[in-house]
Structure 1
Amino acid sequence: MHPRLEQQLSLYLSDTPELREALEHFIQAVDLSYRAYDMERHDLKRSLELGAKTLMERNVVLSRNLEAQRTAQQRLAQSYEVLNATLNSSNEGVLVVGHDDIPIAYNHRYLELMRLTQQRIAEMDAVSLMKNSKSLVKDRARLSAQLKALKEPGSSAFEVFECHDGTWVEIYATHHEAAGYIWMLRDITEVRQKEATISFQAFHDSLTGLPNRVQLQERLLNAIDNAQQGHHRFALCYLDLDGFKTINDSLGHNSGDDLLIQVAKRLKDVMRPEDTLARVGGDEFVVIFNHIHDHQEILGLAEDLLKTLADPIRLERREFVIGASIGIAMYPTDGEEVGILMRNADIAMYRAKANGKNCFHFFTPAMERMAVQRMSLETNLRRALEKNHLELYYQPKVCLHDISGNLKTGHLHSFEALLRWPKSNGEFVSPESFIHIAEDTGMIGRIGYWILEQACLQAKAWYDQGYHANISVNISPRQFLIPNFHHEIMHIIQELKVPESLISIEITESLLMQDLTHARHVLEYFRDQGIFIYLDDFGTGFSSLNYLKNLPVNAIKIDRTFVKDLSWSSADQAIAASIITLGKNLDMLIVAEGIENAEQADFLIRNGCDLAQGYYYGHPVNAEQATLYLHPDDMIPSTIANSLTPE
């Protein structure tokens, strides 16, 4: 029986069993009802429990799905932000247009490059976008061709466009099957400018902006091709400025650069449109005059080049007149190749310099032979210097009157060291033929130090024998320009332990005029070191009493041009007498060089000249023969001295 029914029967019918028995069938029916109810309730409870569990499980799944969706949305938003930031931080403009011709994506750089705003692009389709692009570039047809090349999915195209505002844009486009049309734009203006600068620098001189040697080579090749096809001639002019090095060294490289810029501008102003002006280095320029009909025409053009340089050039509040030496080679007469034309024009230019500068000279075959000889002489000089084949000779300077207690009339005063280059046949190569080569090639510095060293060794050798024989060495103008050369000279003298009183230097007046300030500084240094100083070639360099009185010079040498005609020329006699008087008044020794006869010597003695140098008193001789001049009491007779030199 159902427990609850049993409980109720016990509560209410426990005292009346008869009633309970009478109600047995009813009680059983109720019991069945209770049990059916319990089963239904149990089933309902079970059903409710199962439904709640299912709902909870579904709720958990739903929560998980919602969380996953929120995470996906966050990731999508983050991806969009990253994509948007990436697009807008890129230096390339990006545009994506869907297959429906509507812009899908773009960045700020695209708007900037295409001169658009967000408001405007929102109203545009593919057609209006293309119209806008065409309005910006110069080559509209090529832009249309690029679009046509994207017809098939997977196709791409790359082009570079110049815009109307001078900028350059690089455009890469591709047709993506899913995304549509993708354009990537890059501003390459700066790259193009750098490329143009590099290209310009490769073919132009950085200082003047003129074509350089590389471009000149190309222009010459083109000139040769055109001349061959048109059966005409052209002229190649090699131009070298006169006196540029002096200005450059005295005023500094900045002033030298300023001068070159002004020269280039002047030359360019007289060029014809079809001609070429190039700077090939230093102070050298080359001009190609195309389509020359005859020599008279090139004469006029060359004269124009010289005339345009005739007016003074102003540098640092000073005016300078800069001339030029021009060599001219004609095509095809003087060469049919670039190298030959350049060489022959260069040879002609050197002849123009030799002819007095500030002029022009046409090339001739004879010049080529001279150039070959010069090259041979240069090669042999280098070899002679390397193998120590050069020699030093000594020419005496003689006292014309008593100078001090030890130096009486006729006594040896000193020697001048003179360079000699012996030939295999016993003769000598003329110094006039190779000294300028040594200066032009830069060998003069090495030769100058070699001369000084040999003179020091010889003076030291005589000194060790008990003789005080001073030797003077000449300073070349090119050697004078070597930085700190005067310190090197003193270093050599001191290193060889030679008393300073045994070495003198001779410096030309023309050298002083190149840079008076530097010259004074150098001479003061030598004076402080106890070195005797001769001013050589006096009277040939536009002498100025103003500079002469302020220079630490011990002696002046009358140039041989004023001595050779003393026997009969009243003009030279007046000049020589004036120089002697001037030197005396400035308390300087006076030396006359180039004395060859008694009449010259007598005039100089009468006018009070101190020292004499020349064949009349002694030829240049080697060290062994020069030793014979070192007499304890007096100088050996001139007749004996003359006999020391072979005829």
Structure 2
Amino acid sequence: MRSTPGQGHPHSDSLKAPATAGGPAGLQRPPAPVSPPAPPAAPNSQFRLTRYFSLVSLGLIAAVGLLLTLSMRAQMQRELIHMAERRNEAMTAVFINALGTQLSPLLAADLPADPDSLRTMIEAHGLHAQARALMRNADIIKIKLYNRAGLTVYSSSAAQIGENKRDNAGFQSALVGRTASALVHRDSFDAFEGQRAQVDLISSYMPIPPAPGESAPQGVIELYQDVTPFVERLAGLHRRLVLFGFGLMLGLYGLQLLLVQRAQGILRRQAQALEDANRVLDQRVQDRTEELRAALARLEHLAHHDPLTGLPNRLLCHEHLRYAIAKAQRQQRQLAVLFLDLDRFKEVNDMLGHSVGDDLLIEVSRRLGALVRSSDLLARLGGDEFVCVLESEDALLDAPVVADKLIQTLCRPMELQGHEVQVSASIGIALFPSDGTTGEELARAADTAMYEAKRAGRNRFHFYRPELTQAALARAHMERLLRRSLEGGEMSVHYQSKFLAQASDCLDEAGPCCGVEALARWHSSELGAVPPGRFIALAEESGFINELGAWVLRRACEDMMAWRAAGLVLDHVSVNVSVRQLERGDFVELVRETLAATGLPPPALELEITESVIMNADNALATLNDLHALGVQLSIDDFGTGYSSLAYLRLLPIQTLKIDRSFVAGIAQAGAEAGDSAIIEAVIGLARSLGLNTVAEGVETPEQLAALQALDCAQVQGFLFSRPVSAEQLQSQLQGHSAVAGSPSPAKTASV
């Protein structure tokens, strides 16, 4: 089926979704906004006095308790150390007085640092026995003696004799005359009596008084006093004091909490009362605001809408028309004004009463509104007069379609208050900018055209210019006949064969048939044979091309399967695809279902798509890739007449380029320019470089065939070999010749 590229008009498939009674939303004048009252504070935003008091109070109690505990513990430790330090000083004096004579040799500066020599000297003087005897009833469990060089010259633990404590901080402090004490805990300790476990000690570094005539201490003595019982008693006392303090603070906290909870309850009741009062006030303000908004909306609606039908009135219609004209001027588009008047409406009012007349106008508004798109305007000017403002890229073609459907919908009988009423309408059409450039001019022209329609017999439409009326009537009549063509069996599919160019000489010596192209033919019972150029274009514009294309696709696949069942071998059957078909979201699924229903292998189907279709259809590349995935072959028809980019062409999943008949017609003629031959040669070279097949259509003379053979064209098609014939005629022709399957072209291709 040959399709004419181009976009269809927006009213082709029956008019679009119904508009609301108020017309386009963009035309409404919204009432002045009234700021709503601020909502009351959420409950979560209220101040929780009890919660914050509890958190702060408990945090303070914990902090104060921790500080007091640490302070008390530190103070107890200081007192214990001070007490033990005084006792160690007293024991040091006893030790020095009792053993001063024996200690003097050990404190000499030139004493050897050898531990064995020191132990020998200590044994010689009997210091261990004397020291143990002095400390037997005391809490001192270990003594160490250092000379001024930091050498441990004596220790109740013999293993430590000979160690150097010169860098010890306690030793350094005692060496300058200051006693240094510390409380330590040891898991295991070497005492006079042997090893002790888990013991608390006060260790004190104290200076040994200087010798007569000297100012510096003779050395340093270190005593370890066992204070484990004191530490345990202090720990118990500390625990009791801490528990008592915490209990006291918690009691005070509980008392304060009761007071705070009572205050919180009073504040909450007061806040709730205030919130209730605010809520009542806010609700009153909101109710008044909504009433004001509703009143403003009603006033606005009444100012711009018909109270009976709810349609935009004359004022809003004029405003919209001015806006639409300005928009059409900016976009350089057409605009149509349809002036509709009911025929013999006065007779309905006079015979059945105004109540039935009002119901009639309401029903007419409903039917008309159901057909008008939401982007267009349907208005009631008053009485039985209606106006439709139609915005369209091609209002000249769309307006008669709209007018015809408006007339048809009003012709159906209406049941009103028990009466069957049937009315008709006369419509006048004026176009912008040819019939006027202002709203007033277009309204006058449409009104004049409407009276012309009434004078012509009513129940019809009429353009402001009479010559357009005849063309529109003829086109509308042909569209109605075309839509009934499939049901009436008036549509058929003819096929034109394709041949191998290099194996063909003339009409009687055509090469092997390598494929056929399906072409739709319409023989109307009223109009006779209608040229494809007329009805294909009309099918495109009206949207009927989708239904017609699906029928041709199914018929071509069925005929191809019938030929194969008869023993004929053909490589493929070609079917043309229009832009409207390619834009359908279900086109790929339609091809898949058709192949599955007929049983035709996908490689045996070739879809021919024009350059303009590829460039104009939305998401064309994605659709072609989906078809490629099905396995069908793809061909670009009329190549060279469009404007596709070569870079874009490289991305397309195609197998064939068809050279347009306009180039073929210009070769091998007397006086013909060399341009057509150069274009064909360039197309063939491009196809060869891309691995594509080439088909030249419109071959009608032997000279054209010879020229194409010289240019190495792969396949040819045209009246020189065969005119389009029916499926039965084609089968008879093929049965008389040897049909060759496949093509030697480089594109014998991959299933797409």
TM-score of the pair, normalised by structure 2 = 0.42
Say which one has the larger Rg: 2
TM-score of the pair, normalised by structure 1 = 0.48
Report 1 or 2 for greater relative contact order, CA contacts < 8 Å, sequence distance ≥ 6: 2
